[in-house]
A and B are shown apart, each in its own frame.
Chain A
Amino acid sequence: MIKHILKIIWNQRRSNGWIFAELLIVAGFLWVMIDTFYVDMVTYRSPLGYDITNVWRFKLTEEARTDTLPGLSEPEKLTRLIEQIRQNPEVYEVCAAFYSSPYSFSNSWRNITPLGGDTTLSSAQSFQIRNVTPEYFRLFNVQNSDGKPVYDEVSGVRNALVVSREMADAFFPGQTARGRQLSYTDTGGTFTIASVSSSIRANEYERPEPCFFQCLNGEIYNFMVDYFGARDAELCVRMKRSLSRDDMNLFLDSMGDRLTADNLMVYGITPMQEFRDIQLSGKERDMSNKFSLMLFMLINVFFGIIGTFWLRMQNRRGEIGLRMALGAHRITLQQYMYAEGLCLLAFTLPLVLLFGVNLLMTDYIDTYRQSLSVARVLVTLGATYLLMGGMIILGIWFPVRQAVRMAPADALHYE
């Protein structure tokens, strides 16, 4: 039967050529579309490396002083405020960060040099830095590569750094990063890698980039808070349970003057989820537009393919009648027609693969966010051909079903 189908396809090559060309273009186009969708979806659903559930951002401000008495220093004010908030039994954890909390889109880089150990494969490099108090890791539930809490490894360690898995791989390829010492190329100082965290992503739309966290405690804490100012600290508070904004306002009311430390005070709160939504609204709008366009194209492809095969089958009702007259059973005929359509589709596969290789070589396919893998090719190509195969079967199914339901004598009249 397959030989017969191939013979028919070949002998009708003039008209099938156009259908083949249509299928080829659509398959290539659809593959790129599905691959883009796949990359977006897999990237979106990959772990972020942190958890913002029940986390609130507290906005700080400083009241102008009306007296001339010396007040608390910047670090003292911030420390006192953090402690006052932490003491509330509703609070799970409080931390401070400087342009480093999730979704803050910070972009600070430091050049660092490895100290001691095997440095044959490591040289000074710049990496993105995030300045956070150690409680950050507990609050956002950041885990190390083994799935254990990073907080346990950094707690109480002075001059501790936490490097992301990507940075550890880039800076110490094939070596153990934990315990290694580093120094800032410009200002010096000795820092110890206390933990290697799991991959950390800036947001749901980006891949994990190499980065490191400088744990703010002791002198470094004092220096950084002085440098940035206490009121510029991003104070993050994780509550023990999910609270509505009204509940949270009640919580703030209950806190009273404990939301003030010297002239530093809390003046507003935002749920981290809401902050995330605001920060990512542009990206989400772009994605929504992209998916709408994809859907529109998919609908066009759907009607294009169905229409092509529908008309093709309508024109062959006479042939269907003849085959029934000669002894073909209606189910055999339907299967035969499906197989013919699917064979035409299958012929596009080698050329579509060639097209894919070309796209890959011209960097048109996104291999930055998701590396190219056999699974990715199989999933996207499989989805493309399943979708197109489904459309072809649908385009064939209805007219053939109508034709085979007729008496062969009636179907023969269509020739």
Chain B
Amino acid sequence: MIKLTNLEKIYRTKEIETVALENVNLEVQKGEFLSIMGPSGCGKSTLLNIMGLLDSPTSGMVEINGVNTVNMNDKELAAFRNKQLGFVFQSFHLINSLNVLDNVELPLLYRKVSASERRKAAEAVLEKVGLSHRMRHFPTQLSGGQCQRVAIARAIVGNPYIILADEPTGNLDSKMGIEVMELLHQLNKEDGRTIVMVTHNEQQAQQTSRTIRFFDGRQVQ
């Protein structure tokens, strides 16, 4: 499903060179729930960003669904992200000036999908995450857990194969964290979606099908 080969990411400034990822080789199978762990600054989020085509590697290859993404142009990358990948961020990244329904519809706005179809799809996924009663609310009127569920709804509205979650429970209390994790497990088991999650929480990592660990930009386990 996802194949990373000899991946390297180096941040260069005039004075220093920082190696964020070094010789990463990783394969994620279809339907797998992979968790990535490691101390802060070890390159977990960088890896997730590269997997999600939000950032480009300095060298190496990123293959998703058998497609080598390294030589794709901006337009192709945007379309690929839109159709094949769903993102869940630690700080939700919802647009505060749009209500829940409009936030969820956002990925479909960049496809040729009619307004009524967008509405129908957004309502369906909000129903799935248990927020159909909050559709007209704005993000500022919701709790952190609800915001993250909106973000998950937005991630799955376009029906992507892969969901990339960067510390999805990092900003939530334990109860809400459990709710969000249950939702992710449900998406993995019931819908068969592949999920790659960055987390600091050992307990959450143990619930996933595989855990890999990073240290100083290298995969250590």
Enumerate chain A residues within 8 angstroms of B56, measured Cβ to Cβ. Answer: 407
B102: nearest chain-A partner, CB-CB? A7
Across chains A and B, the number of contacting residue pairs, with CB separation under 8 Å, is: 70
A316: nearest chain-B partner, CB-CB? B95
**B194 CB-CB contact with A under 8 Å:** no
With A326-B107, A410-B55 known, 17 other A-B pairs at CB within 8 A are A1-B109, A3-B115, A7-B102, A11-B99, A12-B97, A322-B95, A323-B110, A324-B54, A325-B81, A325-B87, A326-B87, A327-B82, A328-B78, A328-B82, A329-B75, A407-B55, A409-B54
**B111 CB-CB contact with A under 8 Å:** yes
Q: Scoring B residues 94 to 113 as 1 if CB is less than 8 Å from chain A, else 0, what string do you get?
A: 01011100100011011100
**A7–B89 CA distance with the chains assembled, in angstroms:** 24
Query: 5 closest Cβ contacts across the A-B interface?
Result: A327-B82, A409-B54, A409-B49, A11-B97, A409-B55
Summarize A's interface: helix, strand, loop or mixed: helix
**B93 CB-CB contact with A under 8 Å:** yes
Enumerate chain B residues within 8 angstroms of A415, measured Cβ to Cβ. Answer: 91, 93
**A225–B87 CA distance with the chains assembled, in angstroms:** 97
**A330 CB-CB contact with B under 8 Å:** yes
Interface pair A325/B52, CB less than 8 Å apart: yes
- Interface residue count on the A side (C-beta < 8 Å): 25
20 A-B pairs with C-beta separation under 8 A:
A3-B115, A7-B98, A8-B95, A11-B138, A319-B95, A322-B95, A323-B110, A325-B52, A326-B87, A326-B110, A326-B154, A327-B81, A327-B82, A328-B78, A328-B110, A329-B75, A329-B110, A409-B55, A412-B54, A415-B91
Enumerate chain B residues within 8 angstroms of A408, measured Cβ to Cβ. Answer: 54-55
Q: Which of B161-220 contact A (CB under 8 A)?
A: none
A340 CB, min distance to chain B CBs, angstroms: 11
User: A: which residues have CB within 8 A of B?
Assistant: 1, 3-4, 7-8, 11-12, 318-319, 322-330, 332, 407-410, 412, 415
Interface pair B74/A330, CB less than 8 Å apart: yes
B81: nearest chain-A partner, CB-CB? A327
A275 CB, min distance to chain B CBs, angstroms: 66
B113 CB, min distance to chain A CBs, angstroms: 12
**A7–B105 CA distance with the chains assembled, in angstroms:** 13
Interface pair A327/B110, CB less than 8 Å apart: yes
A374 CB, min distance to chain B CBs, angstroms: 37
**A3–B95 CA distance with the chains assembled, in angstroms:** 16
Q: Which of A3, A11, A330 has the most CB of B within 10 A?
A: A11
Enumerate chain B residues within 8 angstroms of A325, measured Cβ to Cβ. Answer: 52, 54, 81, 87, 93
A8-B97, A408-B54, A412-B54 known; A326 and B81 CB under 8 Å? yes
Enumerate chain A residues within 8 angstroms of B98, measured Cβ to Cβ. Answer: 7-8, 11
**B83 CB-CB contact with A under 8 Å:** yes
Enumerate chain A residues within 8 angstroms of B67, measured Cβ to Cβ. Answer: none
**A330–B106 CA distance with the chains assembled, in angstroms:** 15
